[in-house]
Amino acid sequence: MSTPPTLPLRNPVLERPLKVTLSFTASCNLDCRHCYADCSRVPRAEEMPAADWMRLIDRLEEDGVIGLYIEGGEPLHRADFLDVLRHAAGRFHVQLRSNATLVTPEMARILHEDCRIATLLVDLHGPDAAVHDHATRAPGSFERTLGGIRAARAAGIETQMLVIMTRLNVDHLQGCVDLAARLGLETIGILRPYPIGRMRRAWDEASLPLEVMMRALDALRLPPGMRLMQSWHPRDGNCCWQTAAVDPRGHSIGCAYLREYVDLGDLREVAFLDTWNAPLHRLLRSGEVEASCGDCAASQGSHGGCRATAYAFHGRWTAPDPFDLPLNQGVDLRVLPEHALHPRPQSAPPSGS
Amino acid sequence: MRYILAPNLRLRPVPELDSCVVLAPGEGGGPRLLRLNAHAWLLLELCRAGMMATALREAYREAVVPPLDAAAAAESLDQGLALLLRQGLLLEKNPEEAMP
């Protein structure tokens, strides 16, 4: 259980970020009932065109960014994505998050040889078609995703599985671990659900009590050599300190999970580093929090846990993260407060904070 | 003998954390990201300057912080070089190869 933090309540300070999440598009070929990006089939007109993404990537390289975490929506669903990915090839450590349904053997070869991605992170919602296809609302998507994973591995791409834990799959997590092992994957990430996009609107059917999530994690049995990534206690990091994020419109938003709470400006109008140094972004990165879990601070080197779920449930940027058991303070994670049901992006911390 | 940086490295100094992140091509797989401590970073920068092994030894001893005596500096340097060679971040080059 938690011990008082011995570290000062400050996160490490980076003058410039090392990695940036690019939420390339809010379009997708699936129709997931809990989609964070609230995806449409066709990219919205407000999405940044490829040429602007390329200019931004050049800017990020100049500003010292060395890692890109690219997600969607489904990036491969947008016709101009490979142009952008090729533009970043060899200049960044690129991790691509995808549903993998469009990863054919030829696409896998392109991703590996031309785009030189480091890792493919594949979202799966369950260990079989019944659970997965119910979540994606796309019959056949489970088999196509497995085909994409196999193609990526055959092409030599380091491939990992990601599973967002919800009420729909909490009883199937061991099946996901076993499936990952059968596919030859060495890493599986079990991710917390975030109350954003369609997941927010379906929170009643998707959310779980914290105790249930913790029991589900504790019950997992990993085969030898498999690594589990999870962000609950004792590994609840405040990873804001080292990262930034850009939404499909080209707005700087701090973290992809803050997309409905933070808007630091349009990067076609303001400099990226100006948004990095904006008071709200500095506050999010600072580690100045109302409470910190000693175990998580020790394992993650940061304080207070995830700022997105902290803000979602408390409405304060400095609040403790209720997904961390010692910091939960009786918060029922199945009940979203009013401000989280109707979020409004903020550009600055409230005066006086 | 001298040491040179492997081709296609991207160095991203992180002085705030006394470290340097290096993007390196993978061997068959995707690119690798490595985080170097201050000693390994110093070595990489000295090798980037392109000095001969004897000059490198002297430069490392003068630059390393905290200061080390000659034997400790030599041992630290050898360990660092071995690590960077093993990671594929440095290449050994004979003087005649180094000539234009």
Average pLDDT, rounded, for chain A: 95
Distant-in-sequence, close-in-space partners of B62: CB < 8 Å, separation ≥ 6: none
Q: Is residue B99 part of a domain?
A: no
d(CA B16, CA B21): 12
CB contact under 8 A, A93 and B33: yes
Report the candidate in A298, A295, A350 with the shortest Cα–Cα distance to residue A319: A350
Q: Of A12, A112, A156, which is closest to B17 when you measure between CB atoms? A: A12
Nearest CA in chain B to A156: B29
CB A238 within 8 A of CB A300: yes
Q: Is residue B98 part of a domain?
A: no
State pLDDT tens for residues A245-291: 999 999 999 999 999 999 999 999 999 999 999 999 999 999 999 99
Q: Say yes or no for a CB contact (<8 Å) between B16 and A13.
A: yes
Cα–Cα distances in angstroms (integers) from residue A182 to residues A108, A127, A146, in the given order: 20, 11, 11
Chain B contact residues (CB < 8 Å to A): 8, 10, 12, 14, 16-17, 21, 23, 25-26, 28-33
Is the pLDDT score of A5 beyond 60?
no
Q: How far apart are CA A166 and CA A34, in angstroms?
A: 9
Q: Evaluate if residue B99 carries a pLDDT over 80.
A: no
**Chain A residues near residue B21 by CB distance under 8 angstroms:** 18, 66
The three-state secondary structure class of A286 is: helix
Q: Which of A180, A197, A43 is nearest to A122 (CA)?
A: A180
Which structural domain, as residue segments, surrounds residue B40? 2-92
Three-class SS state of B90: strand
CA distance A266 to A252: 6
| Cβ neighbours of A119 in B, within 8 Å | 30
Q: Tokens for A267, please give them.
A: 């990067």
DSSP B19-87: EEEEEE--SSSS-EEEEE-HHHHHHHHHHHTT-BHHHHHHHHHHH-SS---HHHHHHHHHHHHHHHHHT
Note whether B17 contacts A14, CB cutoff 8 Å. yes
Q: Which of A64, A112, A116 sits opposite B12 (nearest CB)?
A: A64
Contacts of A112 in chain B (CB under 8 A): 30
**pLDDT tens for residues A173-226?**
999 999 999 999 999 999 999 999 999 999 999 999 999 999 999 999 999 999
| Complete edge-to-edge strand list for the sheet that includes strand B10-14 | B10-14, B19-24, B32-36
Which residues of A make CB contacts under 8 Å with B? 12-15, 18, 64, 66-67, 90-94, 112, 116-119, 156-158
Q: In this model, does residue A8 exceed pLDDT 60?
A: no
> E strands within A226-315?
227-230, 243-246
**Count of domains in chain B?**
1
Helix pair A129-136, A141-155: axis angle to 10 deg: 100
Q: Which residue of A has its CA nearest to B27?
A: A156
Amino acid identity of A134? Answer: H
Residue A321 has pLDDT above 50, yes or no: yes
pLDDT-based confidence at A1, cuts 50/70/90? very low
Which pair of structure tokens corresponds to residue A97?
A: 């998050």
Cβ of B30 and A117 within 8 Å? yes
Helix (H) or strand (E) holding A120: strand A119-123
Assigned domain for B100 exists: no
User: Is B97 a member of any domain?
Assistant: no
Query: Residue A307, Cβ neighbours under 10 Å: how many?
Result: 26
Q: Which of A90, A94, A112 sits opposite B8 (nearest CB)?
A: A90
Residue A160: count of CB within 10 angstroms of its CB: 19
ipTM confidence: 0.89
